[in-house]
Amino acid sequence: MRDHILFHVNGREHQVRAAEVFTTLSNYLRYGLCATGTKVVCEEGDCGACTVLVRRAATEEYRPINSCIQALHQLDGMSIVTVEGLRDGENLSAVQEAMVACHGAQCGYCTPGFVVAMTALYEKHDRVDEKQVRDGLTGNLCRCTGYEPIIKAALAVDGASAAKMRDRYPDLPEAGDAVQTDRFFAPSTLDDAIAWKRDHPGCTIVQGGTDVGVWVNKRAFNAPAVLSLTKLRELDELREEDGVIVAGANVTLAAFERFIEHRIPELFRILNIFGAPQIKNAGTLIGNIANGSPIGDTLPYLIVADAELELNGGARRVVISDFYKGYKQFDLGSDELITRVRVPIIRDTLKLYKVSRRRDLDISAFTAAFRLVMNDGAIESSRIAYGGVGPLVLRLPKTEAFLAGKRPSLELFTEAGAIARSEVAPITDVRGSKEYRLQLAENILPRFWYDAFEVQR
Ligand SMILES: Cc1cc2nc3c(=O)[nH]c(=O)nc-3n(C[C@H](O)[C@H](O)[C@H](O)COP(=O)(O)OP(=O)(O)OC[C@H]3O[C@@H](n4cnc5c(N)ncnc54)[C@H](O)[C@@H]3O)c2cc1C
Ligand code: FES
Ligand code: FES
């Protein structure tokens, strides 16, 4: 058992012990290594100024993440490249040259984050188009230059001749064994993980840390014990089996998004506007489920699809809608953790909605999933789930019963909208008023009719 964590920064090995493993990566870089090219602005994963590249396994690319919400213990066994690691001796990298040539910076505060995120685009591709650039930079905000020169710079890079970080920093530290230090434990067996959780009341599992990292920075959250499942390689599993996708607890949202592109295109569309690459490269699907937010974007699909959670390696299975008992209350014992989720691939009529103030990188105000089983032109049965209208993502049993056996029409779905409105009890918060959400709950049904039926006629 190791008493320290190991990682590389720009090709050099670092070892960190005791309580220092809870330091954020951005603070370690800036205050520990004086690598101040990595900037910190929002400290909650929203602006991208702190972007660095991380590689987890020899088979993986370097991918961008936000270093401000990553604790060092999450980086055991990984290789990190910061903006200081991009240049080759005295020469700027191809991306840095393009930013200079296209006047992509003014005050320069956001620039290192943009340069690192652009470098990630060229790790995967030699040429990128504007859509790839816009998607790749959704997690980076600039307040003064304006995005046009930045996008122009990204498109001007000759990726074929640009150095790839995987060639410059190919090595990863050997770190497959268990680690225990201070109040952090990363076991190498599931039994050890379960025992640690049982024996440490208040123990918090940290996976991508994209929820927990924000609580630590913004709500002074301090867990008495922290458990990581990343050494349990069996939880990296992501496969399809008889029309069901099986995803382990370590599967990131980015890996899941790639896997479902052609399997569940409707959910893929929602994941495309979920967070930013930096968030999805760190955050996990099971973290989204276990966080249990009523506006978690994967939940409406998982609920109408009847996804199933596997606890403690299969000792127990729970249908996802039974998992949620109240606001942030779960059917999960103190000696239990979620090991896998089984996600059915839905082939019925399906539509998902995410309504937020801004299209990209914004938390939803309202979400909805509609799944209809059709028989001979009539609705045989339906499943409807709404998020953002109560303490949980809710099914709408009265609306579902009303639709059963009827032929779809605008009048039918308008009437169904009024019933849906009566089934929910939203509150007013920063993302929307109670009245706005009630109106959405009603109007989304006729909108669904237009999207699912009218466009086919
Ligand atoms: C800038 C930003 C943008 C975001 N955008 C979105 C968005 O568009 N849509 C959205 O839905 N969410 C969004 N999120 C929230 C977050 O990214 C997701 O909820 C993500 O899926 C969390 O996964 P994680 O691995 O990072 O979870 P963590 O932060 O590691 O953990 C989250 C919770 O799950 C628990 N947990 C984790 N794994 C397990 C397990 N195996 N068993 C039991 N409990 C477990 C943890 O203890 C914790 O309570 C955003 C967050 C940020 C910072
Ligand atoms: S400082 Fe804004 S995302 Fe990290
Ligand atoms: S150059 Fe000033 S914030 Fe982007």
Q: 315, 344, 373: which is the final residue of a domain?
A: 344
Atom of ligand 2 nearest to the CA of 47: 2
Please tell me the number of the ligand nearest to residue 69's CA: 2
CATH number at residue 338: 3.30.465.10
Please tell me the number of the ligand nearest to residue 64's CA: 2
Q: What is the pLDDT of residue 218?
A: 96
Are 216 and 275 in a shared domain?
Answer: no
Atom of ligand 1 nearest to the CA of 296: 11
Q: How far is the CA of 216 from the centre of ligand 2 (A)?
A: 14
Are 238 and 173 in a shared domain?
Answer: no
Are 111 and 224 in a shared domain?
Answer: yes
Q: How far is the CA of 317 from the centre of ligand 2 (A)?
A: 37
- Secondary element (H or E) of residue 239: strand 238-241
Are 375 and 417 in a shared domain?
Answer: yes
Strand partners, 55: 79
Atom of ligand 1 nearest to the CA of 338: 42
Q: How far is the CA of 451 from the centre of ligand 2 (A)?
A: 37
Question: Ligand 2 pocket: which of 24, 27, 46, 280 to mutate (most atoms <8 Å of CB)?
Answer: 46
Q: How far is the CA of 139 from the centre of ligand 3 (A)?
A: 14
Are 49 and 190 in a shared domain?
Answer: yes
Q: Report the alpha-carbon distance of residue 337 to residue 84 in Å, rounded.
A: 39
Judge contact between 348 and 372, C-beta under 8 A: yes
Are 209 and 85 in a shared domain?
Answer: yes
For residue 216, give every residue at least 6 positions away whose Cβ sits within 8 Å of its Cβ, in sequence order, or none: 24, 69, 71, 222
Q: How many domains does the chain have?
A: 3
- 329 three-class SS: strand
Q: How far is the CA of 150 from the centre of ligand 3 (A)?
A: 10
Q: How far is the CA of 284 from the centre of ligand 1 (A)?
A: 6
Are 249 and 225 in a shared domain?
Answer: no
Whole-prediction pTM value?
0.96
Are 10 and 130 in a shared domain?
Answer: yes
Are 243 and 209 in a shared domain?
Answer: no
Are 327 and 365 in a shared domain?
Answer: no
Which pLDDT tens digit goes with each residue over 364-392? 899 999 999 999 999 999 999 999 999 99
Q: Report the alpha-carbon distance of residue 457 to residue 450 in Å, rounded.
A: 10
> E strands within 327-421?
329-330, 338-344, 349-355, 366-375, 378-387, 394-395
Which pLDDT tens digit goes with each residue over 95-135? 999 999 999 999 999 999 999 999 999 998 999 999 999 99
For 389, the domain range is 349-456
Q: 169, 198, 230: which is the final residue of a domain?
A: 230
Are 157 and 47 in a shared domain?
Answer: yes
The percent helix, strand, coil of the chain (3-state, each to 5) is 40, 20, 40
Q: What is the pLDDT of residue 354?
A: 94
Query: Which residues of the chain fall below pLDDT 50?
Result: none
CB of 141 shorter than 6 A to ligand 3: no
Strand partners, 372: 349, 382
Are 47 and 157 in a shared domain?
Answer: yes
CB of 211 shorter than 6 A to ligand 1: yes
Q: What is the pLDDT of residue 161?
A: 86
CB of 141 shorter than 6 A to ligand 1: no
CB of 335 shorter than 6 A to ligand 1: no
Q: 230, 264, 285: which is the final residue of a domain?
A: 230
Q: What is the pLDDT of residue 456?
A: 58
Atom of ligand 2 nearest to the CA of 48: 3
